Structure 1
Amino acid sequence: MTEPALEPCDLLIEAGWVVPVEPHGVVLEDYAVAVRGDAILALLPRAEARARFAAAQVVSRPQSALLPGLVNAHVHNPMTLLRGVADDLPLMQWLQGHIWPLEAQLIAPDFVADGIALAIAEMLRGGTTCCNENYFFPDVQAATYRRYGFRARIGLPIIDFPSAWARSDDEYFDRATEVHDQWRGDALVAMAFAPHAPYTVSDASFERIRMLSDQLDIPVHCHVHETAHEIDESLRQHGQRPLARLERLGLVNDRLIAVHMTQLTDAEIALCAQRGASVVHCPESNLKLASGFCRVADLQRAGVVVAIGTDGAASNNDLDMFGETRTAALLAKAVAGDASALDAASALRAATLGGARALGLDHLVGSIEPGKQADLVCVDLAPLETQPLHHVISQLVYATARQQVGDVWIAGRPKLRERTLVDMDAAALVANARQWRERIAAIRIS
């Protein structure tokens, strides 16, 4: 009697532990993930996987945890080239006195492409496989993310002043729809509207965004309630708080990705829950700019989807989602006065499936489930810094460093192999960043 033929697959990843994220808080010991093409084919015990599949490639990582790729739900990645140029300043002084004057002289396709390439390398080395981008030249952004095979939702910028990207309101909207149409249906790159903030976008522009967001079925990615100063100015200029203004304009809905949200009342939390709006928590940027504290525990208790983002490297100053997730978990406990707030499993969920849900990509990524895209990360838990290993998820959140990320795949394609970038030249990226340092240092701002 002949043995049944083994089922073919392209890749079999064997791990000491698999943390699928869904179901919540589960750790599967000595499991494997089978991949065919760009998708997860099966999740099953290692011995069963070997008996069932004939894999073109087997990657065995018995001392590693296999996770879904981390989702960085708010970035300004071209600003990686501005890392550290204006530290230790409050938000508006940082923006108006330093960042915006520098950007006025820097923003161009080469700045955007080079900053994103550097950011992609940093994110991959830290286990991030998807990001939510918010900057100018979205056409260049999309082409750069696509070139390196990185998953991203790209913001179509809308702001009430001229930039190198657009000179008028009509031009911002015309160019936004052009870029959206150009990238419609792409497997890795999707679009969102990205009005900068309530204090830089008019009612008329917000109304156009709401109409187009409905028509095109894409999210709206916006800084909201970032500082107390923002609230005060909105009350003075509009007679209502920014979130109330967005609600009046029809934008508080299940397409809203509200970033920062450090100034929230109980009623505003309830409104977000009722409308299905998502909140992106950027704890380290909020702390560094003294912007305030997001009530993460209260948002989650109300049923609001909470994601985690690093913000830009100019205000963080890194794109380290392991560090950000740890800070989010610790800060949530202090803000709530409750040591059980945002426990390890919930923090990891916010950094993966929470981000995917906020971005409207949870049908594709955020958890290890058959049929989803094979965006996967292996984290080495053997180093002494993560020993002894009592609880895998706690160790991932509270003790693991991004340097322990060994392997990364996006859509089944290897992007990091045993800490070495695939198809990216790290030395060339560093050399190019040094050239940008010299160019930026030569700029004089008044």
Structure 2
Amino acid sequence: MPCTRAYAPVVRFTHRRTFGALLLLLSLSLSPSFAASLLVKNARLITVDPAQPDVFVGWFSVDAEGRIDALAAGEPPADLVADSTLDAAGRFVAPGFISAHSHIYMSPVRGVGFDSTLYGWGSALGPILKRTTGDDIYWFTLHGALDFLRNGITTAYDFTNSGVDRIAAVGLNEKVPYGVQRPGPFEENQIRAKAAAGLRFVNSVGLPRVGPPDVTRARFENVLEFFNDFAATEPLAMKMAISGGVQRAPDIGAAHLEAALMRDHGLLNQSHFLESPERVDEQQAKFAWYEEAGALGPQLIFGHFIQVNDEIVTKAAETGCRMCWQPTSNGRLASGIPDVTRYREAGMIVGMGLDDQSCTDISDPFQNMRIGMYTMRALHSDAAAMPIGDILFLHTLGSAELLDIDDDVGSLEVGKYADFLVVDPRDPDTGPIHNPLASYVLACGLRNLDLVYVAGRPVADGTTMLSYDETEVRREVDTRMARIKADIAAAAAATSTDS
């Protein structure tokens, strides 16, 4: 049964919010009433706060900044005044999911390369993506961000599209491919699109070789400057990161450049690494590049990290490297099953992502959780290998910890943003509730998702988006994709005629 014992409002002290928390305590103790922007009451709260019970019936209030300013079990104070009230009786209220590894611009390219592994799937996407402009990518990203929000993903780590086509540099002996930029801007448009949708995000930018290392670095730092200026007035933009590319790099220079930017700007680097069962020896050998460059450590996140060996796991764990797990795409692309249980036992911080929307097909965090849990239990023949509380943690607070954004998101706690889901286990009916947490993790899904809130404001009501007019988005995406498909067909016809 849900815990209903009385709690005083919980105040979360952090190095950034101690003063505000003290003011809150004073206001609660000295004022005859206190005001809130939003009051949520009668909720089955799943806070994912380790200091709280798994599930309890209670309430919380949200301030004008969109942060939780009080939270407790039982009934809210009679003198609490709020601009709006959400009575969540009978429903779960839980933190929004975090996708700690995403490629949001890929949302309109589903159903391509459907029976291929990673490299074949990428080749199938190539003819479409190389014809996109910066304007196309804006609308594609907006489409994907709205899709994430509708499905309960309120924060995403997003690998952006650089819009750089790789070509061979002049000179028969040149081993380093340089790239040519398509009409843009690309990264800047993706930043704008995610904010326009209302999605909270960590923005990850790659280092395509557009010239010598100093030119490539300057390109990245220009995007970083744009992001920092944008984030100064847009709280949805949380931080910048590096999209590591050593797995596909021709030489160790890529690792040295990534390590230098990590060090000089204090950035996280999430690198696609050891993903595919193809080219395993080549991939594993490049782990030494990161080690030699001095990149191993808590700032380095390995995305996928499937095709490992004992030495790599030991060294990654000992140096504090982290890992992000994409169960759905790992299955869809036949990439394999990372032993997440083993990584966590070794001490690695692990988060979860929905990955590329064209290789997870439905951006469903409930499904992603369950696929992950089921594969760990099957891999170890042990139902305790991935408990229900652990898998929910990994897709919420665990992912926030992975990305060093857990002061702001990942759980329902005082001081954090009120990014949350309202989920009704009785519509459609999942049956009597024997264990509330088990019902939420095992039996609920997108069909039960009623409302999605970001910073205390509703952004989705069922499948209806409230944060943006989707009619315009669908029209733009359909028109632009039709143009791209026509271009592909014309090129194929020309090739056929030439032959």
TM-score normalised according to structure 2 size: 0.81
Which letter maps to 1:115? F
Q: Show the 5 A alignment for 1:103-142.
A: 103-106=129-132, 108-136=133-161, 137-142=186-191
Could you say which residue in structure 2 is the equivalent of 1:213?
A: 262
| Cα displacement (A) at 1:59 | 0.6
Bigger drift between 120-129 and 179-188 goes to 179-188
CA contact (8 A) 1:138 1:155 kept: no
Which letter maps to 1:88? D
Aligned equivalents of 1:360 and 1:183: distance in 2?
Answer: 18
CA contact (8 A) 1:199 1:230 kept: no
Aligned equivalents of 1:52 and 1:353: distance in 2?
Answer: 32
- Tell me: CA distance 1:52–1:19, structure 2 relative to 1, closer, same or farther (3 Å): farther
* Structure 2, gaps ≥5 residues long: 1-29, 162-185, 493-499
Could you say which residue in structure 2 is the equivalent of 1:237?
A: none
1:198 aligns with 2:247: yes
CA contact (8 A) 1:7 1:54 kept: yes
- Tell me: CA distance 1:46–1:419, structure 2 relative to 1, closer, same or farther (3 Å): farther
| Cα displacement (A) at 1:381 | 1.5
Aligned equivalents of 1:388 and 1:315: distance in 2?
Answer: 35
| Cα displacement (A) at 1:41 | 0.5
Residue 318 (structure 1) aligned to one of 353, 359, 362: 362
Aligned equivalents of 2:119 and 2:137: distance in 1?
Answer: 23
* Structure 1, gaps ≥5 residues long: 161-165, 235-239
Residue 154 (structure 1) aligned to one of 189, 203, 207: 203
| Cα displacement (A) at 1:231 | 2.2
Q: Show the 5 A alignment for 1:65-104.
A: 65-95=92-122, 97-104=123-130
1:231 aligns with 2:280: yes
| Cα displacement (A) at 1:324 | 0.8
Which letter maps to 2:153? T
Secondary structure (helix, strand or coil) at the match of 1:285 reads: helix
1:32 aligns with 2:81: no
Aligned equivalents of 2:429 and 2:211: distance in 1?
Answer: 52
Could you say which residue in structure 1 is the equivalent of 2:236?
A: 188
CA contact (8 A) 1:195 1:201 kept: no
Aligned equivalents of 1:418 and 1:293: distance in 2?
Answer: 33
Residue 7 (structure 1) aligned to one of 28, 34, 43: 34
Could you say which residue in structure 2 is the equivalent of 1:400?
A: 444
Aligned equivalents of 1:247 and 1:395: distance in 2?
Answer: 44
Aligned equivalents of 2:484 and 2:386: distance in 1?
Answer: 40
Aligned equivalents of 1:125 and 1:46: distance in 2?
Answer: 29
Deviations along 1:71-127, one digit per CA (max 9) or x if unpaired, are 0011111111211122111211222x3223332222x21222111111122111111
Aligned equivalents of 2:304 and 2:44: distance in 1?
Answer: 33
TM-score normalised according to structure 1 size: 0.91
- Tell me: CA distance 1:210–1:314, structure 2 relative to 1, closer, same or farther (3 Å): same
CA contact (8 A) 1:159 1:200 kept: no
Aligned equivalents of 1:290 and 1:418: distance in 2?
Answer: 32
CA contact (8 A) 1:225 1:242 kept: no
Could you say which residue in structure 2 is the equivalent of 1:163?
A: none
Which letter maps to 1:112? I
CA contact (8 A) 1:74 1:133 kept: yes
Residue 72 (structure 2) aligned to one of 29, 44, 50: 44
Aligned equivalents of 2:250 and 2:363: distance in 1?
Answer: 27
Aligned equivalents of 1:415 and 1:344: distance in 2?
Answer: 27
| Cα displacement (A) at 1:170 | 4.1
Aligned equivalents of 1:381 and 1:273: distance in 2?
Answer: 39
Aligned equivalents of 2:128 and 2:452: distance in 1?
Answer: 34
Identity of paired residues, percent? 25
How many residues end up aligned between the 2 structures?
431
Deviations along 1:333-388, one digit per CA (max 9) or x if unpaired, are 11222111111110000000111111121111111111112211111222244222
Secondary structure (helix, strand or coil) at the match of 1:131 reads: strand
Q: Show the 5 A alignment for 1:353-392.
A: 353-392=397-436
| Cα displacement (A) at 1:417 | 3.7
Compute the RMSD of aligned alpha carbons. Answer: 2.1
Which letter maps to 2:340? V
Secondary structure (helix, strand or coil) at the match of 2:415 reads: coil
CA contact (8 A) 1:385 1:400 kept: no
User: Whose Rg is larger?
Assistant: 2
CA contact (8 A) 1:296 1:342 kept: no
Which letter maps to 1:32? W
Aligned equivalents of 2:466 and 2:247: distance in 1?
Answer: 40
Higher relative contact order (CA 8 A, sep 6+): 1
- Tell me: CA distance 1:24–1:229, structure 2 relative to 1, closer, same or farther (3 Å): farther
Which letter maps to 2:49? E
| Cα displacement (A) at 1:332 | 1.1
Which letter maps to 2:50? P
